[in-house]
Amino acid sequence: MTQTQEVRVRYAPSPTGDPHVGNIRTALFNWLYARHTGGKFILRIEDTDQLREAQGALSAILQSLRWLGLQWDEGPEVGGPYAPYIQSERLPLYQEAARRLVAQGHAYTCYCTPEELEAMRKMQQQRREPPRYERRCRDAAYREKKAKEGGPSVIRFRTPLEGDAIVVHDLVRNGVSFDPATLDDFVLLKSAGFPTYHLANVVDDHFMHITHVLRAEEWLPSTPRHLMLYRALGYNVPKFGHLPMILGPDRSKLSKRHGATALLDYRAQGFLPEAMVNFLALLGWSLDDKTEVLSQEELVRHFSIERISKAAAIFNIEKLTWMNGVYIRKMGPEALAAQLATALTHHAQEKGITLAAPITQDALRPITPLVQERLHTMQPQEVWDLCGFFLTPLPAYGDAPFRKSPLAPQARRAALEETVVALESLEDFSATALEGALRPLAERLGLKTRDLFMLIRIAVTGTDVAPPLFETMAVLGKERTLERLRYAIRLAG
RNA sequence: GCCGGCAUCGUCUAGAGGCCUAGGACGCCACCCUUUCAAGGUGGAGACCAGGGGUUCGAAUCCCCUUGCCGGUACCA
- Give me the residue spans of the domains in chain A: 8-70, 91-243, 256-329, 331-390, 401-492
* Residues A456-477, mean pLDDT to the nearest whole number: 96
For residue A286, give every residue at least 6 positions away whose Cβ sits within 8 Å of its Cβ, in sequence order, or none: A307, A309
**Residue A294 CB contacts under 8 Å (≥ 6 apart), including other chains:** A278, A281, A287, A302
The rounded distance, in Å, linking the Cα atoms of A121 and A110 is 16
Q: Please name the nucleotide lying closest to A321, CA to C1'.
A: B26
Count of H-run helices and E-run strands, chain A: 20, 11
Residues of A 300-359 whose CB lies less than 7 Å from any atom of strand B: 306-307, 309-314, 316, 318-319, 321-322, 325-326, 329
**More confident of the two residues A129 and A149:** A149
Which among A241, A403, A381, A379 is positioned nearest to A321, based on CA atoms? A379
Question: Domain A256-329 belongs to what architecture?
Answer: Orthogonal Bundle (1.10)
Q: Among A15, A79, A18, which Cα is nearest to A52's?
A: A15
Q: Which one of A145, A256, A310, A404 is the catalytic residue?
A: A256
**Does domain A401-492 bear CATH number 3.30.2290.10?**
no
Strand partners, A40: A8
pLDDT computed for residue A314 by the predictor: 94
Q: For residues A377 and A365, what is the distance between their CA atoms, to the nearest angstrom?
A: 18
Can you tell me the ipTM of this complex? Answer: 0.96
Question: Strand order of the sheet with strand A107-110?
Answer: A107-110, A154-157, A187-189
Distance A309 CA to B20 C1' (A): 21
Look at residue A250 and give its three-state secondary structure: coil
What's the CA–C1' distance between A171 and B19, in Å? 29
Nearest DNA or RNA nucleotide to A435 (CA to C1'): B35
Quote the CA–CA distance of A196 and A187 in Å, as a whole number. Answer: 7
- Rounded CA–C1' distance between A466 and B43, in angstroms: 29
Q: Quick one: which residue's CA is nearest to B40's C1'? A: A373
Residue A216 has pLDDT above 90, yes or no: yes
Do A196 and A48 contact (CB within 8 A), yes or no? yes
Q: Which long-range contacts (CB under 8 A, 24 or more apart) does A162-168 make?
A: A166/A224, A166/A227, A166/A228, A168/A220, A168/A223, A168/A224, A168/A227, A168/A240
Q: Contact A393/A354 with Cβ under 8 angstroms?
A: yes
Which residues partner with A108 through β-bridges? A156
Q: How far apart are CA A4 and CA A283, in angstroms?
A: 29
Residue A354 has pLDDT above 60, yes or no: yes
Confidence of residue A398 (pLDDT cuts 50, 70, 90): confident
**Which of A18-32, A163-177, A400-414 bottoms out in mean pLDDT, i.e. has the lowest?**
A400-414
Gap from A285 CA to B20 C1', Å: 23
Distance CA(A394)–CA(A384), nearest Å, equals: 14
pLDDT of A3 strictly over 70: no
> Could you say which nucleotides of strand B lie within 7 A of any protein CB atom?
1-8, 10-16, 23-27, 35-40, 69-77
Residue A99's CB is within 10 A of a number of other CB atoms, namely 13
Select from A393, A411, A389 the least CA-distant residue to A457.
A389
Tally of CA atoms within 13 A in the half-sphere of A70 that contains its CB: 31
Q: Binning pLDDT at 50, 70 and 90, where does residue A1 land?
A: very low
pLDDT-derived band at A493, boundaries 50, 70, 90: low
Q: Mark residues 224-243 of chain A whose C-beta is closer than 7 A to nucleic acid strand B.
A: none
> Which nucleotide, over all strands, has the C1' atom closest to the CA of A283?
B12
CA at A289, C1' at B18: how many angstroms apart? 20
d(CA A89, CA A99): 18
User: In 3-state terms, chain A is what percent helix, strand and coil (to 5)?
Assistant: 55, 10, 35
CATH architecture type of domain A91-243: 3-Layer(aba) Sandwich (3.40)
Subset of residues 402-421 in chain A with CB less than 7 angstroms from any atom in strand B: none
Same fold, A256-329 and A401-492: no
A173 CB-to-strand B distance under 7 Å: yes
Supply the Cα-derived Rg of chain A in whole angstroms.
32
d(CA A338, CA A365): 9
> What's the CA gap between A476 and A387, in Å, rounded?
11
pLDDT at A260: 66
- pLDDT tens per residue across span A265-281: 999 999 999 999 999 99
Q: What is the structure's pLDDT at A100?
A: 98
In which band, very low, low, confident or very high, does the pLDDT at A2 lie, cut at 50, 70 and 90? very low
pLDDT digits (tens, 9 = 90+) for A83-109: 999 999 999 999 999 999 999 999 999
CB A269 within 8 A of CB A379: yes
Dist. CA A425–CA A431, nearest whole Å: 15
Please check the confidence at residue A290 and state whether its pLDDT lies above 70.
Answer: yes
Show Cβ contacts of residue A209 under 8 Å, excluding neighbours closer than 6 positions.
A8, A82
- Global confidence as pTM: 0.95
pLDDT tens-digit series, residues A416-463: 999 999 999 999 999 999 999 999 999 999 999 999 999 999 999 999
Tell how far CA A295 is from the center of its chain: 17
- Out of 3.40.50.850, 3.40.50.620, 3.20.20.70, 3.90.1150.10, the CATH code matching A8-70 is 3.40.50.620
Chain-centre distance for alpha carbon A314: 14
> Which of chain A's residues 10-29 bind strand B, using a 7 Å CB cutoff?
12-14, 16
Average pLDDT score, chain A: 94
Q: Does the annotation count A146 as an active-site position?
A: no
The Cβ-side half-sphere exposure at A48, using a 13 Å CA radius, reads 25
Q: How far is the CA of A316 from the C1' of B12 (A)?
A: 7
Q: Where are the alpha helices (DSSP H) in A156-254?
A: 197-207, 223-233
CA of residue A416 to C1' of nucleotide B46, angstroms? 48
Q: Is the CB of A260 under 7 A from strand B?
A: no
Q: Closest nucleotide (CA of A404 to C1')?
A: B36
pLDDT higher than threshold 80 for residue A252: no
Residue scoring higher pLDDT (A74 or A182)? A74
A371 vs A123, residue with greater confidence: A371
Scanning residues 362 through 381 of protein chain A, those with a beta carbon under 7 Å from any atom of strand B turn out to be 373-374, 376
CB contact at 8 A, A384 and A344 = yes
